[in-house]
Amino acid sequence: MNQKNNNVILEVNDLKMYFPVMRGLLRRKVADIKAVDGVSFNLKKDETLGLVGESGCGKTTIGRCILGLYRATAGNILFQDKDIAKMPEKKLREMRREIALIFQDPYSSLDPRQNAGNIVGEPLKIHQMVMNRGEYKDRVEQLFRTVGLDPSMIDRFPHEFSGGQRQRIGVARALACNPSLIICDEPISALDVSIQAQIINLLEELQDGARELSYLFIAHDLSVVRHISDRVAVMYLGHIFEICKSRELYDKPLHPYTRALLSAIPIADPFVEETRERIILKGEVPSPLNPPSGCPFHPRCFMAVPECSQSVPTLKEVIPGHEVACIRV
Amino acid sequence: MTELLKVNNLVTQFKTENGIVKAVSDVSYYLDELEIIGLVGESGCGKSVSQLSVMQLINAPGEITGGEVIFEGKDILKYAPHSPQMRAIRGARIAMIFQEPMTSLNPVLTIGQQLTEMLVLHLKMNAEAARKRAIELLGMVGIPAAEGRIDDYPHNFSGGMRQRVMIAMGLSCNPRILIADEPTTALDVTTQAQLLELMRDMVKHFRASLIIVTHNLGVVARYAKRIYIMYAGRIVESGTTKDIFSKPRHPYTIGLLKCIPRLDEEEGRKLVPIEGLPPNLINMPPTCAFLPRCSWKIDKCYKEPWPDITPVNDNHYIRCFVDTSDVNNEPKKQ
């Protein structure tokens, strides 16, 4: 897994995405919201990288930058050795055949006026992946079966499906062009507990069955992310604080924020809960408009020292394959 | 410990054009003094409606059609929803915190106006005393510089802060029972943890009992002493938290515990989803509502109506024909 480049499908280097804040009559720029502020990571072939963090930490923004939906302020995003951040619009369209997206809300992300077959098949038409009607029909039916839907439901409309089935339609649409990377943006958080496992298992099975498929799995639920991912990146206010193998995340969390985040999540086992360490953080996530100086976490950190407010720590490999951005580690 | 609240065979229905929705059917539970219990279920299982029924906050087309709610020895369902007796209980003796801190505060009134309203109404305080008490309460729930914030409007507060205000409101009249309906679902993880700890400490401080309504099994495992599991409007299993997690007996509970990812699980664990969908609560057959999704079903399940809730052990009850205990049910770390 540690081989260089030939194994890496996506490499993000020092990515920055700032959104300008305009004020006044002349719409002058008064400040930047630093949604993503210097993020680097890579994603290997057939790997699942989890991206966790609380709302507003920039995880969705990273996903959108990778799809070229936002043009990054700085940094580069190398996908199959081509830089998405600087790609012209026309090239981006071609590239989106290779990178697909699964959305959070299966209710608002499907066009209510198109039937399920059209929703799944539209990417095939746009990217001219099929030659004729027969082939198109076959491919759509095949996609339905792949995600566990009955092809006889092709003519139904989104409102006739349950939440879990709708998310399956969303997965089928993402798979339509045989992508090599799927960005899953909170794909299960809108679903009921007993349905969530169905979608998690579907995503896992698809990856096992595919010739080559990587996931960038964006979610706020650490237990889900840890379950599905090979590696996990923990984000806070536009920065990555820790990247490691998902097993190490629970066994050996190093960054104080990761430790607090882990302890904040209750485990469904009263016996384990009795003895667990609980770190309750003070305060709330600061606004990205006016982030604290130095390490963005230092005002809430239980390990902070005066030096923490001086410089922004960068990711350092502390243990092989385990990177942390903290001067106290 | 003495029994504070006892709900017997509660039934709440909604009349719709398509038929009668049996949101809550035959729900019974009790709550002791100073106790924390959890009511767990997926969306649409009737957990919120059962709590709104206790408070008599059910509007047409909904109707409480049966059962009793014994609070401090009296059946409060006998009081009309707008009667002075019910008003004296609702908000004052039994208080409720709702899921959406964004929508459950009135946006055009200040926090202080909303908080003092209850104190003046229920505790007959004068305006000055109420304001002083309100500031004190805001301080207790961790709002910094409460004197300066009391005249702010809800939009000046973050989601977590708004839910703190809701907790202060809930506890302002020294209620005996606080019902928290998905109190932290809309919030971020670290804020959730802060608020749950705060809620537990505050309930202890005010010597109240707490009912946590949630879909999150982790939250009840951490805070509740006893749990009621609901499915399709009925309680399907109840018992102490430890019994339910270590020896779940109802097939739905067993399935639920197998299908959630755990933070401390071992690598390579496969989730076992519950196949199928939760049932439509309109025109339900008399047989067990979990039957179509159940992997333990036997012939009897198809022939007979849903059984009554029966004890399997001390304080451990299930609503099921099948004896699931002869297979090893220990929660394995798979």
Asked whether the beta carbons of residue A265 and residue B216 sit closer than 8 angstroms, the reply is no
DSSP-derived 3-state class of residue A102: strand
Please say whether the beta carbons of A170 and A106 come within 8 A.
Answer: yes
From residue A40, how far is each of A31, A265, A296, A327, B288 by CA, in Å? 24, 26, 17, 18, 53
Q: Which residue segment(s) compose the domain that B134 sits in?
A: 103-207
Q: Are residues B137 and B192 in the same domain?
A: yes
Report the length, in residues, of chain A.
Answer: 329
Strand partners of residue A36: A17
Q: How many CB atoms lie within 10 A of CB B284?
A: 18
> Between the CA atoms of B141, B143, B148 and B153, what dihedral angle is there, to the nearest 10 degrees?
-90
Which contiguous run of DSSP H or E holds residue A35? strand A28-44
The DSSP string of B45-79 is SSHHHHHHHHTT-PPTTEEEEEEEEEETTEEGGGS
Instruction: Measure in Å the smallest separation between the Cα of B259 and chain A Cα atoms.
Output: 6
Q: How would residue B68 be classed by pLDDT, with cut points 50, 70 and 90? A: very high
Please say whether the beta carbons of A134 and A142 come within 8 A.
Answer: no
Q: Is the ipTM of this complex over 0.85?
A: no
Chain A residue closest to B262 (CA)? A223
Q: Are residues B198 and B118 in the same domain?
A: yes
Instruction: Report d(CA B297, CA B290) in Å as an integer.
Output: 9
Instruction: Report d(CA B223, CA A286) in Å as an integer.
Output: 28
Instruction: Report d(CA A44, CA A240) in Å as an integer.
Output: 18
| Phi then psi dihedrals of residue B14, to 5 deg | -120, 125
| Phi then psi dihedrals of residue B17, to 5 deg | -60, -30
Interface mutation target, options A224, A267, A297, A300, chain B, most CBs of B under 10 Å: A267
Instruction: Report d(CA B15, CA B24) in Å as an integer.
Output: 13
Structure tokens at A9: 């499908």
Query: Per-residue pLDDT for A280 more than 90?
Result: no
Chain A residue closest to B265 (CA)? A227
Q: Which of B148, B191, B176, B215 is nearest to B90 (CA)?
A: B176
Instruction: Measure in Å the smallest separation between the Cα of A198 and chain B Cα atoms.
Output: 5
Which contiguous run of DSSP H or E holds residue A49? strand A48-52
Q: Are residues B177 and B131 in the same domain?
A: yes
Alpha helices in chain B (DSSP H): 47-54, 84-89, 111-123, 127-140, 146-149, 159-171, 189-205, 217-223, 241-246, 251-259, 299-303
Instruction: Measure in Å the smallest separation between the Cα of B183 and chain A Cα atoms.
Output: 15
pLDDT tens-digit map of A156-206: 999 999 888 999 999 999 999 999 999 999 999 888 888 899 999 999 999
Angle between helices B251-259 and A193-209 (to 10 degrees): 50
pLDDT tens-digit map of B125-157: 999 999 999 999 999 999 988 999 999 999 988
Query: Per-residue pLDDT for B329 more than 50?
Result: no
Please say whether the beta carbons of B77 and B65 come within 8 A.
Answer: no
Query: In this structure, what DSSP letter does residue A294 have?
Result: S
DSSP-derived 3-state class of residue B129: helix
Give the pTM: 0.88
Please say whether the beta carbons of B160 and A284 come within 8 A.
Answer: yes
pLDDT of residue A5: 56
Quick one: A5-45+53-89+220-324 is in which CATH superfamily?
A: P-loop containing nucleotide triphosphate hydrolases (3.40.50.300)
Average pLDDT, chain A: 91
Q: Are residues B179 and B230 in the same domain?
A: no
With respect to residue B220, please indicate whether it lies within any of the assigned structural domains: no
Residues of B in contact with A162 (CB under 8 A): 277
Chain A residue closest to B44 (CA)? A192
Instruction: Report d(CA B240, CA B252) in Å as an integer.
Output: 17
Q: Are residues B86 and B231 in the same domain?
A: yes
Residues of A in contact with B190 (CB under 8 A): 54, 260-261, 264, 281, 285
Please say whether the beta carbons of B4 and B71 come within 8 A.
Answer: yes
Q: How would residue B233 be classed by pLDDT, with cut points 50, 70 and 90? A: very high
DSSP-derived 3-state class of residue B280: coil
Q: How would residue A30 be classed by pLDDT, with cut points 50, 70 and 90? A: confident
Give the number of A-B residue pairs with CB atoms closer than 8 Å.
128
Asked whether the beta carbons of residue A266 and residue B272 sit closer than 8 angstroms, the reply is no
State the total domains in chain B. Answer: 2
Q: Where are the domains of chain A?
A: 5-45+53-89+220-324
Surface-to-core class of residue A285, CB atoms within 10 Å of its CB (0-12 exposed, 13-18 middle, 19+ buried)? buried
Query: Per-residue pLDDT for A2 more than 60?
Result: no
Query: Per-residue pLDDT for A233 more than 90?
Result: yes
Q: In what order do the strands lie in the sheet with B310-313?
A: B94-97, B177-181, B209-214, B36-40, B226-231, B234-240, B316-318, B310-313
Q: Are residues B86 and B1 in the same domain?
A: yes
Asked whether the beta carbons of residue B270 and residue A201 sit closer than 8 angstroms, the reply is yes
Query: In this structure, what DSSP letter does residue B232 have?
Result: T
Please say whether the beta carbons of A255 and A301 come within 8 A.
Answer: no
With respect to residue B216, please indicate whether it lies within any of the assigned structural domains: no
Query: Per-residue pLDDT for B331 more than 60?
Result: no
Q: How many CB atoms lie within 10 A of CB A182?
A: 23
Instruction: Report d(CA A168, CA B67) in Å as an integer.
Output: 41
Cis-peptide, bond into residue B61, ω within 30° of zero:
yes
pLDDT of residue B284: 84
Q: How would residue B314 be classed by pLDDT, with cut points 50, 70 and 90? A: confident
CATH number at residue B123: 3.40.50.300
